[in-house]
Homo-oligomer: A and B are copies of this chain.
Amino acid sequence: MKHTKSGVEDLKIAYIGGGSRGWAWTLMSDLATAGDLSGTVALYDIDYEAAKWNEIVGKRFTTHPKAKSRFEYKAYESIDEALSGADFVIISILPATFDEMESDVHTPEKYGIYQSVGDTTGPGGIIRALRTVPMIEYIAKKIEENCPEAWVINYTNPMTVIVKTLYSVFPKIKAFGCCHEVFGTQKLLAYMLKTEYGHDKIPLKEIKCNVVGVNHFTWLTEAKYKNIDLFPLYKEFADKYYFEGYNESADDNWMTTDLLCYNRVKFELFRRYGYIAAAGDRHLAEFCEGSWFLKSPEQVKEWKYTLTPVSNRKEGLVKLLEKSRQLREGELEPQIGDSGEEGVQQIRALLGLSEMVTNVNIPNYGQIPNLPIGAVVETNARFTSDTLTPMFAGEIPIEIHPLITRIVGEQELVVKAALERDLEKAFVAFMNDPLVNLTKEDARALFDEMVENTKEYLKEYF
């Protein structure tokens, strides 16, 4: 990496995973607009062919007439080569396949446990964590060996568990986890200001929020626009749309039909606790007692959000693979332009080319004084030259503290269990999960079945 008058040259970004999903293309698109950067994107995936395909796609982006930057895209068969000397590492893997995810999400339905996502918490999130932690452990060690000074950005779920694992394995790692769920809520607040109060075209970044909690169960304890306190406005808004729900227009690039929601869960949580839950309803529901929002598919419908069957994901994958082919073979034109994702902006800020404040997942150094030090939490943080500084976020309010601290404890225990390859300890966390309100016998049977279904990826536990 080399700083020049006009920016940074010879940057090396290692991209781990990404073979089977669209995220990599978003990065390619965003990088193509970053005129002050150039260098290499090293692609590594356990499926080398997938990385190779992305290499071809990457070239199409970087050579596109609209591209302002030049990056070389190169697939590697060896993770060491991909990481060696990297300035940034992006982790975006799929832990196992959608077949395992199918078990995570749908096996618990036999016991009346429905999950709207199944990749973060609940029985599905826990089993997914068990197979993910060893993979991340491996990656963390490789980073320590090959590029200990690199900044590591994780996009993979379960976010909290993964960031905790990175820091547990390599304590000096400079890692953080990124997630756009909070932006969705800021967008909702912007829509509210538009439709209810006539403030049009408010840039998301002007909705100033204080963020606390853990990934996908984040809460806003303050939200302001200029000097307007958005809480009283949101109260009116939540009351007004409580029953019918509010469906912001579907122009978001990350919201497809099956993810649409009417924010009824969000409104309900606000009316109950007085703070703004800041993630999609599908995620929020999974952190609550099962009886509240996930008792049955009918109840989900009443709350006007959706369960996400893994079959949809499988179909989505087919489409992505087809899109990949089209991009590779020139049938489809790469879309160059700012995606709204913040990855490249964060990279620029860490390079000292700008600065920014946004929400990230990192260990708690005290930014949330009433959560344990060292637990991974989500709050705002400031990105400046080679530095990421958490904002002091304050205590989690008493009303929601028990909900969040319970989850924090569960996730800490899951990581501990996984690092020790201890299924019994993992089962303790499993039993404690809010969605797993079963007798011990049933819980055991379910746990065992889910482990059995995914055992190919859990070999180290036996």
Footprint of B on A, CB under 8 Å? Answer: 1, 3, 8, 206, 208, 210, 222, 224-229, 268, 272-273, 289-292, 295, 299, 350-353, 355, 357, 365-367, 369-370, 372, 380, 382, 384-387, 389-394, 398-399, 401-403, 405-410, 412-413, 416, 425, 428, 431-432, 437-440
Contact yes or no, B208 A355, CB < 8 A: yes
A289 to chain B, nearest CB (A): 5
- Cβ contacts under 8 Å, A416 to chain B: 398
- Cβ contacts under 8 Å, A1 to chain B: 227
Contact yes or no, A227 B272, CB < 8 A: no
- Cβ contacts under 8 Å, A437 to chain B: 289-291, 437
Instruction: Name A's interface SS.
Output: mixed
CB-contact partner of A295 in B357, B428, B439, under 8 A: B439
* Bound form: Cα–Cα A366–B398 in Å: 18
* Bound form: Cα–Cα A440–B293 in Å: 9
* Bound form: Cα–Cα A208–B384 in Å: 7
| CB within 8 Å for A3 and B227 given contacts A369-B365, A432-B403 | yes
| CB within 8 Å for A366 and B392 given contacts A227-B386, A402-B432, A406-B402 | yes
Please give 8 more A-B residue pairs, beta carbons under 8 A apart, in addition to A229-B386, A355-B357.
Answer: A208-B387, A224-B384, A227-B351, A227-B385, A289-B437, A382-B382, A405-B406, A405-B409
Shortest 5 CB-CB contacts between residues of A and residues of B = A402-B409, A226-B352, A224-B385, A208-B384, A390-B392
Contact yes or no, A3 B295, CB < 8 A: no
A198 to chain B, nearest CB (A): 12
- Cβ contacts under 8 Å, A222 to chain B: 387
